[in-house]
Amino acid sequence: MKKYKFAIEMGGGYTNIYVKGQGLALKEPTLVGAEPTEEGYKVIALGQDAKKLIGKTKENIEIFTPCVYGEHSNFEYSVVLLKHLLSKVGFKQFEDNVLFLCPCGITAREKDNILRVCEACNMGQVEIIPAVLCSLVGEGRKIDGSTVNMVVNIGGTYTDIAVVNMSNILKGATLSVGGKSIDASIVNYLAYKDELVIGLPTAETLKNDVGSLYDNDTLNMEVTGVDLKSKSPKTVVIHSMELKNAIEPFYSEILRAIDTTINALPPEVVTDIINNKILVCGGCSKLQGLDNYFKMNLKYPVSISEDTDYVTIMGAGKLLSDQTLLQSILNNL
């Protein structure tokens, strides 16, 4: 079996790169900034530099993620961004082998797109691994035995739900629900309710700082934007309780998907899930009150990871050093 040195989690929000022997070597936004020219679009910023430009550029400059829902629909930009990020972590072209993480609901065409991106980046051997398996490994769950585990990973552009045992996904689903769709919902909600226009970075800050699923949360934050009608500066105090209206529908959709997934499972499998609790991870699992929200609205116990942002990439890092477990996963792909 070939030895793998790099693990790459290229999500819709951030790209994480783990290097064997070093640990987590990089975390940067999965963003590209480009402007139109006579010859086509010209890349002007990548990663963290692109994020700094959001809302601060000319109207014709686009800041976007080339990887949405795990699909590399903007192939050339995925390649440019990934080459840029790999250059920061000592990657050796044509030599270093890579574990590339993907959603559990990936199609054959989407898998081919990932392999094309990796080939264009001059990687050595590449294996595509479902990210949910890495999440469980990172949390210390045993995935190569008969006991069943369930994981819900709420990421930047999608949410993965999977039921796992014997190093294999028994049942899984990928929803187009994630942090970026919540941010967009907050922007639209404030424009409708308060006639306040804000940008996506401000919406993300609101979500992270005062977003809550508690019914009576008293968190609040003063936000300055632009009045929808007069176009003049406008400052509004935003309260968690009103922001909940823009946020909760997305978590409600995730709850329904969890219920649907479990309802299709045999009783013995469900018993294991109850005993082990559902692992919840990903950046959007940090929302205030999420644990209580699940307890109130879900019939099954959950456990929110203490390392929600990094548990998946750290699990992939463990696989780089555990060839036996990695091989058992590869045998089931």
Within this chain, do residues 94 and 157 fall inside the same structural domain, yes or no? no
Within this chain, do residues 11 and 86 fall inside the same structural domain, yes or no? yes
Within this chain, do residues 84 and 103 fall inside the same structural domain, yes or no? yes
In a domain, 47, yes or no: no
Is 63 strand, coil or helix? strand
81: nearest Cα among 17, 36, 156, 137:
17
Strand runs (DSSP E) across 11-148, as ranges? Answer: 14-19, 23-29, 32-37, 40-46, 62-64, 98-102, 126-130
pLDDT tens, per residue, the chain with 333 residues: 789 999 999 988 999 999 999 999 999 999 999 998 888 789 999 999 999 998 888 888 999 999 876 677 788 999 999 999 999 999 999 999 999 999 998 889 999 999 999 999 999 999 999 999 999 999 999 999 999 999 999 999 999 999 999 999 999 999 999 999 999 999 999 999 999 999 999 999 999 999 999 998 999 999 999 999 999 999 999 999 999 999 999 999 999 999 999 999 999 999 999 999 999 999 999 999 999 999 999 999 999 999 999 999 999 999 999 999 999 999 998
In a domain, 59, yes or no: no
pLDDT computed for residue 236 by the predictor: 96
Within this chain, do residues 170 and 125 fall inside the same structural domain, yes or no? no
Within this chain, do residues 153 and 298 fall inside the same structural domain, yes or no? yes
The tally of domains found in the chain comes to 2
The CA distance from 90 to 290, in Å, is 38
In a domain, 57, yes or no: no
Residue 299 CB neighbour total at 10 angstroms = 9
Within this chain, do residues 103 and 212 fall inside the same structural domain, yes or no? no
CATH code, 84? 3.30.420.40
Residue 91 structural domain = 6-30+65-134+311-330
pLDDT computed for residue 153 by the predictor: 97
Cβ within 8 Å of residue 85, ≥6 positions away:
15, 17, 26, 28, 46, 47
Which residues make beta-bridge pairs with 173? 161
Within this chain, do residues 10 and 120 fall inside the same structural domain, yes or no? yes
242: nearest Cα among 222, 218, 223:
218
Within this chain, do residues 183 and 225 fall inside the same structural domain, yes or no? yes
Within this chain, do residues 179 and 295 fall inside the same structural domain, yes or no? yes
**304 token code pair:** 């929110």
Within this chain, do residues 173 and 246 fall inside the same structural domain, yes or no? yes
Within this chain, do residues 185 and 289 fall inside the same structural domain, yes or no? yes
Residue 179 burial by Cβ neighbours in a 10 Å radius (0-12, 13-18, 19+): buried
pLDDT computed for residue 70 by the predictor: 67
In a domain, 1, yes or no: no
The CA distance from 149 to 65, in Å, is 31
* Order of strands across the sheet that contains 149-154: 168-175, 159-165, 149-154, 278-281, 302-304
141 within 8 A of 134, measured Cβ to Cβ = no
In a domain, 324, yes or no: yes
